[in-house]
Amino acid sequence: MRNRSSFAISSYALIDLSLREAMDHLTRDGWTSIEIMCEEGHTELLEWSREQFAELKQIGSEKGITWSIHAPINGCNLAADAGSGRDMTIETMKRCLEIASFLDSTHVVIHAGEVNDRLDVAERARGVENVSQAVQLLVPELIHGQTKLTLENVPPYPKVLGWNVSDLTTVCRNINSSHVGVVYDVGHAHLIRPGYALEALEEVLPYLLALHLSDNYGEADDHLAVGEGTIPFAPILNLLKESDFTGSWVVETKELACAHLSVDRIIRQL
């Protein structure tokens, strides 16, 4: 039986605050598992000093907080061909993994990146190969700690790779490491077509390490509270329960109140 303490909250819910303000707010609100999203102002995490990290780790130790990190999306492209852009992406990912290791984080979330045309089969195949090679370079950063590297399925935007979960499972098979898996975003999958959210979950289950939970109406990535959109959560939660999924359940809503509502509704359905 899950309870509130077994759910994580993404700092995305307080993205308009500074990272320190957001952390203070979330810890006071009683969250004991926090995923720091390194977007907008929260990218400051990558520039924090050793003293700031030590303070954050101390807060986590005192309050029993489990951390995870969502690596930057903008400016990062693991699917890129070899060159300065991909080199910079790998360095950014190494920085995220270094921070995650210091904080004893459960996982780091990454996006596969972009290709020229998401529907072009050859482009997708080359992108998957590039991501596989890039992730392989990151695996040595993982083998001495507990942090996992998780690839997230994304919305079907024109150039993105990873909207089809088959791309992500292919990367996982190519890497074949217990340190690499998938973070499954239910809301992103629902944007592909009706029914895909459940189908895609069935496909990623062998590699599933974490969840991102929110709702939408199948048209935009609204990050609504669970139950406010059209995602069929009942069969999704049943499948997770039947499979005895023990990874991270991260609520990634646009507002903190929506996160609380989501947790309450999920608990009632499990």
Split at pLDDT 50, 70, 90, the class of 143 is: confident
Largest alpha-carbon pair distance within the chain?
Answer: 50
β-strand 107-110 against 148-152: which pairing, if any?
Answer: parallel
Going by C-alpha positions, the residue among 110, 100, 103 that lies closest to residue 185 is 110
Distance CA(113)–CA(79), nearest Å, equals: 5
Going by C-alpha positions, the residue among 182, 94, 76, 184 that lies closest to residue 130 is 76
Question: What is the average pLDDT across 87-92?
Answer: 96
Distance CA(81)–CA(144), nearest Å, equals: 29
What are residue 70's phi and psi, to 5 degrees? -100, 110
CB 110 within 8 A of CB 93: yes
- The position carrying tokens 């609100």 is 29
| Residues 6 or more apart in contact with residue 146 via CB below 8 angstroms | 104, 106
Question: What is the average pLDDT across 231-244?
Answer: 96
Instruction: List pLDDT tens digits, range 153-208.
Output: 999 999 999 999 999 999 999 999 999 999 999 999 999 999 999 999 999 999 99
According to DSSP, the residues that pair with 57 across neighbouring strands are none
What's the pLDDT score for residue 86? 93
Distance CA(110)–CA(73), nearest Å, equals: 8
Rg of the chain over Cα atoms, rounded to whole angstroms, equals 17
- The structure tokens listed for 224 are 């609504």
What's the pLDDT score for residue 103? 96
Instruction: List pLDDT tens digits, range 115-139.
Output: 998 888 899 999 999 999 999 999 9
Dihedral Cα 59, 209, 232, 202, nearest 10 deg = 180
Q: What is the CATH number of domain 4-269?
A: 3.20.20.150
What's the pLDDT score for residue 2? 75
Percent of the chain whose predicted confidence (pLDDT) is above 70: 100
DSSP 199-225: HHHHHHGGGEEEEEE-B--SSS---BP
Split at pLDDT 50, 70, 90, the class of 1 is: low
- Residue spans per domain, the chain: 4-269
CB 37 within 8 A of CB 77: no
**Distances in Å between the alpha carbon of 189 and those of 78, 162, 168, 216, 236?**
21, 10, 13, 10, 12
Distance CA(11)–CA(70), nearest Å, equals: 9
What's the pLDDT score for residue 4? 81
**Distances in Å between the alpha carbon of 223 and those of 40, 86, 129, 139?**
16, 29, 31, 31
Distance CA(116)–CA(248), nearest Å, equals: 32
Q: pTM of the predicted model, to two decimals? A: 0.96
What's the pLDDT score for residue 194? 95
What's the pLDDT score for residue 233? 97
